[in-house]
Homo-oligomer: A and B are copies of this chain.
Amino acid sequence: MLLQIYLLNFAHCKRRIMISAAKIKLIHSLSRKKYRIENGLFLAEGPKLVDELSGRFPCTFAAGTAGWMEHHRGFRANQIECVSDAELAKASLLQSPQEVLALFRLPDTTGDIHIAEKELCLALDGVQDPGNLGTIVRIADWFGIEHIFCSTDTADVFNPKAVQATMGAIARVQVHYMHLTGEIAGLPAGVPVYGTFMDGKDIYSTELHKSGIIVMGNEGSGISPEMENLVTERIGIPSFPAGRATSESLNVAVATAITCSEFRRRNAV
């Protein structure tokens, strides 16, 4: 029985080889933006995430366990290697490696794209934490927001921690980096620019349009003064009960979620 299982695994894993030291070095280097750009690659780990991304980004390399290989015979990549759990752990950036890791071609995120005025979209003004950024991409996907526009000092969405936190949503939501205040300043008059502030108008009772830009700020300092000047609608999420001493603020991904939820609740189709 054990021999059978071994042979079965072996059959799906003809080239069970070590991941080369050079490849491991490359994989680890992709935690830094400089090397992602230099190599034109980003890293994703785990079966669900790798599956979702493979439908959207060309995969150049995948290293999977025999179990993963067995269920992914049709998986397309320039190079696929079947590895032991120990080999995978050596290459992985995760504390608990998950069956497969893969390298994908890095897309261009600085193309000549502009804010679509007729949709609801998100603008991130200096969000620093890759986990928060990835979670925001997942939230955008859930609420049907297709584009996120980021200031150049916002974290890179292809940071491995951000990619993992998107849970695959990065395959559907497009993230663009740009001179954000310049872009927003150039919008036609009448396009609403929403920003959340402690003293903003109660989001539950203020008017919310179907389209517009929702600006979310930095974790520590919030929306920058330059951006604040461009906000046309100051909104806020009330704490409960009103006036009670509480946390100073909500986490930026949490505030994004509540804001997007409230926009979509009003305009459900």
Contact = CB atoms under 8 A, between A and B. Distances in A.
Interface of A: 131, 135, 138-139, 141-144, 165, 167-169, 172, 204, 237-242, 244-251, 253-254, 257-258, 261-262, 264-265, 268-269
Contacts of A135: 251, 254
Copies in the complex: 2
A261 B168 CA distance: 26
A247 B265 CA distance: 18
A260 to B, nearest CB: 8
A242 B268 contact: yes
A265 B250 CA distance: 16
B247 A142 contact: yes
A249 B139 CA distance: 9
A30 to B, nearest CB: 18
Given A138-B251, A142-B240, A144-B244, 9 more contacts: A138-B254, A139-B251, A142-B250, A143-B240, A144-B240, A240-B264, A242-B268, A254-B254, A261-B261
Query: Taking each of A168, A238, A242, which has the highest tally of chain B beta carbons within 10 Å of its own beta carbon?
Result: A238
A250 B139 contact: yes
